Amino acid sequence: MSNFTPTNTIPTSVLASAPTSGPTFGSASGPGPIATGQPAKKQPRIIAIANQKGGVGKTTTAINLGTGLAAIGRRVLVVDLDPQGNASTGLGIDRRNRTVSSYDVLMGEATVTEAQVATAIPGLSIIPSTVDLTGAELELIDMPRRAYRLRDALAAVAAETDEGFDYVLIDSPPSLNLLTVNALVAAKSVLVPLQCEFFALEGLSMLMSTIERIRKGFNADLEIQGVVLTMYDKRNNLSDQVAEDVRGFLGDKVYKTIIPRNVRVSEAPSHGKPALVYDHKCAGSLAYMQLASEMLRRERLDAAA
């Protein structure tokens, strides 16, 4: 744990703000469905893609899993909640076109509908991020419902529109700060990309304890969607060892699909395209398509159980 910087932990003050009762805050699991007298609308599955470790494939997974799900006919919204804006760049959203961003949504200055922009991929939209998000954490500290800002914004759009999304994928930054807390509080589940490298498991226990604290304080129903092993290198014996260790630790939460290290995947963002569009036949693209199918299959099985 010695190598964690202060940004890798959630300040106690943030977690201490978990509301317990009252009309403004609702229960720890947040406000219930809004009573409209209408039949319940299908809610999107909101998935936070999180790991406080940097460079493990969170953004690559948000982009390519999102593209894969859209290719199977699902309507997908990616929320770029990282000030680096890599998901926005990788999905071809020029910085000049990021006039309304995830920062505005968190600040309550724009709705999800106003902030989302279409990508070149049919069925896939994104709420882009800008560097404004760097200051958001400080600004949020004094705001009401600071951990619930994204959850509230997404709930408002779900209540408003009939033609919603099937999936919302939130790309979070490499730290466990208030932005990541907003992602985990808004989400139904967490998808954890884990790089096949020696220190992969280090830090995972910290993420798991954060998830547990989020469950206790804010979002009782938060589930683990799954763990996806990324950047697997078949020439490296260590990759196999890491995959085995992770499966031993997390069991069937780990997807069968493993994302290989693939140069085409790393080239794609500089062209503003998902790997699945840049080179749909490369090993990385095939693996992300397989991941999208596996995720849907598992959800069907869970629903039937």
Binding positions for ligand ATP, rule: CB under 6 A:
54-60, 82, 84, 86, 174, 230-231, 259, 261-262, 265-266, 269, 284
CB of residue 48 vs Mg ion: minimum separation in angstroms? 13
261 binds, among ligand ATP, Mg ion, none (CB under 5 to 8 A by kind): ligand ATP
Among Mg ion, ligand ATP, none, what does residue 54 contact (CB within 5–8 Å per kind)?
ligand ATP
| Binding residues for Mg ion (CB under 5 A) | 58-59, 86
Cα dist from 274 to 35, 169, 191, whole Å? 39, 15, 19
Strand order in the sheet with 189-195: 117-118, 124-127, 76-80, 167-171, 45-49, 189-195, 223-232, 254-260
Q: Residue 90: which of ligand ATP, Mg ion, none does it interact with, CB under 5 to 8 A by kind?
A: none
Residue 117's DSSP bridge partners are 126
DSSP 113-164: HHH-EE-SSTTEEEE---TTHHHHHHHHHTSTTTTSHHHHHHHHHHHH-SS-
Residue indicated by tokens 């069991």: 251
Q: How far is the CB of 34 from ligand ATP (least distance, A)?
A: 33
Output the smallest distance, CB 272 to ligand ATP, in A. Answer: 13
Identify which of residues 136 and 231 has a Cβ nearer to ligand ATP in the complex.
231
Nearer to Mg ion, 145 or 273 (CB): 273
Least distance from C-beta 305 to ligand ATP, angstroms?
Answer: 31
Give the Cβ contact number of residue 8 at 10 Å: 19
Q: Toward ligand ATP, which CB reaches closer, 157 or 176?
A: 176
Residue 179: strand, helix, or coil: helix
Instruction: Please give the Cα distance from 230 to 63 (Å, whole number).
Output: 14
57 binds, among ligand ATP, Mg ion, none (CB under 5 to 8 A by kind): ligand ATP
Is residue 229 a contact partner of residue 259, using CB atoms and an 8 Å limit?
yes
CB nearer Mg ion, residue 158 or residue 176: 176
Give the nearest distance from C-beta 58 to Mg ion in angstroms.
Answer: 5
Shortest distance, position 82 Cβ to ligand ATP, whole Å: 5
